[in-house]
Every structure is written in structure tokens, then in C-alpha cells.
Amino acid sequence: MVGFGLSKKNRGVTYVPGQEIYISSGRFGWEPEDAAVSVCHKRILLVVATFLLIYAVIIWKIFNVCLVDGIQLHREGQSYYRPKKGITFPVHRANIVDRNGVIVATNLPTVNLFANPHKVTNPKEVAEKLAMIFTDTSFEDFLIRLTRNAKFVYLHRNVTPQQQAMVNALGYPELEFLPSEVRVYPQKELLSHVLGNTDVDNEGIAGLEKSLNDRLNSSTKDLRLTIDLGVQYAVRDELIQAKEKFMAERATAIVMNINTSEIIALSSVPDYDLNKRDFKDKDIKFNFATLGVYEAGSVFKVFNTAMGLDSGKIKITDSFDATKPLKMGRHKITDFRVPAKWLTVGETLIHSSNIASAQLALKVGKKIQIQFFKNIGLFDKIENLEIYERGRPLHQSEKRWQDDTVATCAFGYGISATPMHIITAFSSILNGGLYTPPTLVQEAHNRKTRRVISHQTSMDMRKLLRDVVIYGSAKKANIDGYEIAGKTGTANKLDENGRYIKGKNITSFVSAFPITNPQYALMVIIDSPKPLKETYGFVTSGWNAVPTGANIIKRIAPQLGVKPNFDVDTQRENILKNLNKKEEKS
């Protein structure tokens, strides 16, 4: 650079920028002797300062990009390379699994197709092409949605990966996808009444899905049920067969662990495929097991007898006069095919005598009867049962509970309860006398057990009910080896107005096995069975509910690990029989 405005001695010498500052005085600064030189110095300083500032900004920016931005992005999580400290579970609603861990309800990740109709330039063309991809939605439906005056419309929910690829291939940028989840039930109709369902927003609308909605949404930990899927299938399969065979309107069954009140299986047919979400037919959605309040008939004689024996007012050796109908005011209590004689307590159950049962109840009295029914849970909704659909028993108010009510309740009329009430109460009678509220969920901890009858009464009841199967109305359930005890019940069906429907019955069979050490209770209810040739025109429980119950027990007992009780000789005979059969087959 040529020095401009420098002193004469320094003219013609080349300097680097800034060097001239030192030339005039030999020290930092310059002589203000020459105004032009001073201006030049100032300009040079300005340039240097500007460059320094630019360098500083660049350094600061580099520093920011390398360090500060990285930390910032890490914090805000906006970068694609956001470091993830943990793993996010792919879905937000917990699985429901059976007691062995088999999934019965789960959420699957999916996408929903949506659009902003204002951005769609050619709705007809888009609707036409979408209708070709989504065959379950019509062209008109798509067109209506695409021409709606809105900024956001769902075009199709739960798009499959193939459909998503096809939509993307159409090349319309206005069609977008939103990540979502869909509730799927891999076992279809197998647990329909237990699980219930969810709506499109994955909120429970029935069954356990509704009652445990908060639990399922707040944690992704599996919700483990007490249901055993294998047993559930066997029960449902037998119910379907029974419903078809007896041309019944409905068939229901519950299997319960008699000691813990855990529900092992609960099925009511007809049922429905949960994945189809077709709720038009309300009848198939009706969960009779927990919601069906009905007059159970003679199965109440189990409670009546237990009440009498436990009260101390009745001895097992007592007899009752069943030679003639019992008059209660204007009404007469009669028996169906019961020998007209004095009946012991055991015979009362074996022959299912209404007359003798009513006498027993009248001897015990109103006060004890009401208290006993309260104790075994027949006056309230089932305590703590997780399912949303729970029926409340129907009965007379305590003020109107007169002798005729005492007498009719003895054989299961004048009081209605759900099958769940009955099997829970039945379990408490046979398990040693302890009532435990039933549960469908293994993590239920708020159940309180209480004593309802003495251990001795329970032991007596086991013997009496075993006799009903050996000698009484439940003979068809006397399966060798499983030592079943139980009680049948046939009651007239009531219509919606509370009047009895002529010719229609609801038959019940409540049982426990093996009675020497009861482990499981089973209740079967057949709604309006028809008389068949093989039932000799009868529609009572012993001809339909009992054989159905026996078939169920035959199938589920090996699954539940209940060993048949045969002596050694019988077992060895069985070995030979099985070997012979095998030889014949081969």
C-alpha cells in the first residue's frame, strides 16, 4: 500500500496496513499535524474494527452452532437427532391378558387419513380415487367430506400399510396421515361380554374396558384377568351346542374358583365379534351373567337349607310334611313330581320339594332369612366386581316381607338375582362357609372375606348336594370320578312387565366339584329351552342345564388340573380299556 498524506521522508515507501501509524511518531498514535493523515488513520481503524467485529460474530456463531444449539436442541427435542433417554412404548392403552398371559385385547399402531378440504383442488377426482382404494367407503361419502366447509376432516380411520402406500402413490399432497391406535381383540367373540368395547377414540364404552378405563389408559402394564382362555372356549363351545340343541333363546355359564371367587370363565351366548363393533342388536350385547336379574327357582333351596341348618332351628334329621299343598292365604304352594310324604332335609333337596322348603323357611322366620340373604350378598349389587354391567337383585322391601314372601323365597320365587350373585353365594355355602366377592382381575386387592355359615353346616351341605346328583334331579351330572354336587332349578320366565310367560322357563344348574375337596363351582342357565323327543317332552333343568353342565365339567376338569377320583382297581381297568380301544383302532 502506498502511504497517502505521509511525511516527505516516508513517501514512496510501501507499508502494510496500520504500519504508518507508527511511522510518524515512532510510538502508538499519530501526529495531528496533518488533517488528511488523521482522517486516513481513523478510517483504517474503522475498517480494522469492522473486520474484528465480523470475525467476532463469526466465531460467536460457530460457537453457538457447535455447542449452544446442540444443547438447546437436545433440551427442546426438536431435532431429528434428538437423543432419546428412554424407549417409548408404541401404544398408550394397556393390553388385557388372560390368567396365562394370552392377549385378549391390545392396541395396534395405525394411521388415520385426513385432509383440509380448503386445500383440495379437485374433490371429485380425489374422492373417486379414494373410493377405489377404500372399498368400504363410497365415492359420495368421500365427496361429502372433501367438500365440507371445514379445515380438518377424517377421510378414513385405521388405514392399513398397503392402503397408505396406495394413497401416497396417488400423489396428492393435501391427503395426510395422522398416527393413531386401534383396539383389537384377537380372540374375537370369545370374551365379548367380559371385555366390552372401546369407541373410535379408544375410550371404554362397555364391560371391563369401561369400568377399568382409567387403569388401562394410565399404565401400559398388562391387565391380567382371572379368566382362563382354554376353559372359556370349552364353556362357550358347550353353550353354543346346548343353545342349538334345545333351541333356547340364550345360554349362560360361569366357572368360579370356589375358594378365591376368581372367575375362570364367563360366557353368555349369543355373543358378538368385538372387532366388528356392530352394536345394532342390543340383545346380543346383554351380559346375562352379571346383568340378567331373574327368579332362579329351586337353586335357592340350597341357601334355604344352609340357612336353616346354620340357624340351629333345623336339624339335618328333621322332617316336613309334603303330603298336601301348603296354603298361604289365597295361594297354595305345590310340588312338581315329588312323592307325597314326610320328607327329611336331604329328601327335600333330592326331590326339590317346594312345600317342605317353605315349611323350613317359615320355621326359621323372616328376620333370620333377610339377614342371611344379606350376608350372602343377595340384596345388593355384587361388591367390587370390576365389570361395568352389574344387576341389582329385586326383592320385597323388608316392611312387606311377610310369611308368603318367606315361603316363596325358600324355593326361589319372589326374589330375583343375577347368576353371578347365585354362584358366589353358592360358593360360600360349599367352600367352608366363607363369602368372598367375585373378581375378574388378578390385581384386585380390596376384597374382604366374611363368614356366612359355620364350617360344619358347609360340610353338611356338601353331603346333601352330592345326594342330589346321585339320587335327585341332577343325576345326569353324576360323572364317574369327578364327584359333582349341585342343585337344579326351573323357574317360569317373566316378561318385561313382570308377568309369567306361559310355557317359557329359565333352567339353572349350580354345581361344585370335586365335592370331597371343592375347587370349582359352575353355574349353567338355559333360557327358554324347547322340549325334545330325547327329553320326553320335559323342559326342566335336569334335561337340559344339567347335561350341559356335565359336558362342561368333563371338558374343563382336566384343563383345570382336577384329577378324577378313581381307586386303583378302576384306574387299572381304565388302562386296559384304553389299551383295548387303541388296539381296536389300529
Partner 1 sequence: MSNVKAAISVLWCLFAVVSGSYYFVLTNDVQNLEKELAQINRDIEKDIRDIHILEADWSELNNPERLKTLAAQYISLDFIKPEQIINYSALPLDGEVIGPSSMFAKNSKDLRRLVSSER
Residues binding partner 1 (CB under 8 A): 66-67, 70, 74, 81-84, 86-91, 102-104, 106, 108-109, 184, 186-188, 190, 229-230, 233-234, 237, 479-482, 516-517, 554-555, 557-558, 563-569, 571-578
User: At closest approach, how far in Å is the CB of 104 from partner 1?
Assistant: 7
User: Measured between alpha carbons, how far is 213 from 55 in angstroms, rounded to an integer?
Assistant: 61
Q: Which is nearer to partner 1, 45 or 67 (CB)?
A: 67
**Cβ distance to partner 1 smaller for residue 16 or 66:** 66
Query: 80 or 536, CB closer to partner 1?
Result: 80
Q: Is 400 helix (H, G, I), strand (E, B) or coil?
A: coil
Comparison of 173 and 179: residue with beta carbon closer to partner 1: 179
| C-beta closer to partner 1: residue 92 or 148 | 92
Tell me the residue ranges of DSSP E strands in 209-365.
223-224, 250-257, 263-269, 319-321, 326-328, 331-333, 342-344
Query: Rounded to the nearest whole angstrom, what is the least distance from the CB of residue 51 to partner 1 in the complex?
Result: 19
DSSP string, 93-156: S--EE-TT--EEEEEEEEEEEEE-GGG-S-HHHHHHHHHHH-TTS-HHHHHHHHTSSSS-EEEE
8 A C-beta contact, residue 126 and residue 145 = no
The stretches of 67-160 forming alpha helices (DSSP H) are 69-76, 123-133, 139-146
Cα-to-chain-centroid distance, residue 297: 30
Closer CB to partner 1, 34 or 237, in the complex: 237
Supply φ then ψ for residue 331, to 5 degrees.
-100, 155
Closest separation in Å from C-beta 183 to partner 1:
11
Q: Are 511 and 522 in contact (CB under 8 A)?
A: yes
φ, ψ dihedrals at 556, nearest 5°: -90, -25
Sheet holding 520-527, edge to edge: 263-269, 250-257, 520-527, 500-513, 485-494
Cβ proximity to partner 1, 74 vs 118, nearer residue: 74
SS3 83: coil
Q: How far is the CB of 438 from partner 1 (least distance, A)?
A: 23
Cα separation, 541 vs 524, in Å, equals 10
Nearer to partner 1, 190 or 441 (CB): 190
The Cα 358–Cα 364 span in angstroms is: 10
b or e along 168-197 (b: 16 or more beta carbons within 10 Å of the residue's beta carbon)? eeeebebbbeeebbbbebebebbbbbbbbb
Q: If you write DSSP's letter for every residue of 441-476 in order, what string do you get?
A: BTT------EE-S-HHHHHHHHHHHHHHHHHSTTGG
Using DSSP, state whether 533 is helix, strand or coil: coil
Q: How far apart are CA 545 and CA 422, in angstroms?
A: 15
Rounded CA-CA distance 510/243 in Å is 18
Judged by CB, which is closer to partner 1: 108, or 132? 108
Nearer to partner 1, 283 or 567 (CB): 567
Give me the least distance between CB of 428 and partner 1, in Å please: 24
Of 234 and 242, which CB lies nearer to partner 1 in the complex structure? 234
Residue 421 or 476 with smaller CB distance to partner 1: 476
* Cα separations in angstroms, 243 against 194, 290, 529, 546: 20, 19, 8, 13
Nearest Cα neighbor of 489 from 372, 579, 357 is 357
Q: How far is the CB of 259 from partner 1 (least distance, A)?
A: 18
The residue (of 278 and 480) whose beta carbon lies closer to partner 1 is 480
Least distance (Å) between residue 227 CB and partner 1: 12
Task: Output the smallest distance, CB 5 to partner 1, in A.
Answer: 32
551 and 238 in contact (C-beta within 8 Å)? yes
The one-letter amino acid code at 48 reads: V
Question: Residue 494 in contact with residue 501, Cβ under 8 Å?
Answer: yes
Residue with smaller CB distance to partner 1, 358 or 550: 550
Tell me phi and psi for residue 255, to 5 degrees. -115, 130
CB of 574 to partner 1, least distance (A): 4
> Which C-beta is closer to partner 1: that of 23 or that of 240?
240
- Minimum distance from CB of 87 to partner 1 (Å)? 5
Task: Name the minimum Å distance from CB 208 to partner 1.
Answer: 17
Residue the block writes with cell 365339567: 553
Grid cell digits, residue 9 = 521522508
Output the smallest distance, CB 240 to partner 1, in A. 11
Question: In the bound complex, what is the minimum distance in angstroms from residue 480's beta carbon to partner 1?
Answer: 6
What's the grid cell of residue 351?
Answer: 326331590
C-alpha–C-alpha distance, residues 164 and 176, integer Å: 10
**Minimum distance, C-beta of residue 187 to partner 1, in the bound complex (Å):** 6
Residue 88 CB, nearest approach to partner 1 (Å): 6
CA–CA gap between residue 431 and residue 258 (Å, rounded): 6
User: Is-contact 95 219, C-beta < 8 A?
Assistant: no
374, 352 contact by CB (below 8 A): no
